[in-house]
Chain A
Amino acid sequence: MKVSELLENKEFKCLNPQVGIEGVIKSGYVGDLLSWVMANAGNECAWVTIQTHVNIIAVATLLEMTCVIIPEGAEVEESTLERAIIEDIPILITGLNAYEVCKILGNAGV
């Protein structure tokens, strides 16, 4: 599933659509402990996390994730967005919770 296809679902909004949104989401990962995510998340995944500070972009970049999804309407810091634009990582926000996000990804075949 491409990020652009996920964005066809109106529950999701991309905060930095100027970066590429044609990346393919090959798997998903949910986690807020950054070291745990570093150790276990795969590349080309959609990472669902409630962390919104700039270091999530470092993690997403180093692991070559496809996108970061911030659930439950959490606000993303400006510095995070700036870094995400530089690093070409789409940040998606949604009012859904992490489980509901995963259901959508799973139903789409991710």
Chain B
Amino acid sequence: MSYELIFDVKRGDFETAGEASRKIKHTLQQLGISNKIIRKVSIAGYEGEMNLAIHSSGGKIILEVGEKELILTIEDVGPGIQDLNLAMTEGWSTAGDEVRQMGFGAGMGLPNMKNNADDFEITSKIGEGTKIVMKFLV
């Protein structure tokens, strides 16, 4: 890997949520990555960032830039997802009313990430956390 960026995201931090995705986008622009790929990474990154703010007990976003691919990892420290198949279903969400009123919790976050990444892997363990690794070919 020729380049790596790491961002911390706290639970409930909606005021600054989106900051990591913006910085990732800016970095990719400076590296001369195509707009089409930047859009995909931006959408996936933003969804991951919002998931950390809404659902997790806090976590990290890691961007690794290689010659042939970008790897975006979204990793948290809990609480973990009970049923991954359900969580991947469009429209299904455990978000509370407050965040739904803000326009989050549409149940589109994980599907949006999967749809935009060339490769998408999610693992989760209750009480331990969730890890999503997305690869984007450049």
Contacts and interface: CB of A to CB of B under 8 A. Distances in A.
B115 interface: yes
Contact of A38 (B19, B25, B47): B47
Contact of B47 (A35, A56, A61): A35
B102 interface: yes
Contacts of B108: 33, 35-36, 38-39
Interface string B2-41: 0000000000001101110110010000000000000100
Interface in B20-76: 21-22, 25, 39, 42-43, 46-47, 50
A34 B18 CA distance: 12
Given A33-B108, A39-B115, A62-B21, 5 more contacts: A38-B112, A51-B102, A55-B102, A62-B18, A79-B15
A54 interface: yes
A37 to B, nearest CB: 8
A13 B16 CA distance: 27
B104 interface: yes
Interface residues of B, number: 23
B138 interface: no
Contacts of A61: 18, 22, 25
A58 B43 contact: no
A61 B20 CA distance: 12
Contacts of A49: 103
Given A35-B106, A53-B14, A55-B102, A43 B39 contact: yes
Contacts of B104: 34-35, 55
7 contacts: A39-B108, A43-B39, A51-B103, A54-B18, A55-B104, A62-B21, A62-B46
B74 to A, nearest CB: 15
Contacts of B80: none
B109 interface: yes
Contacts of A53: 14, 102
A39 B102 CA distance: 17
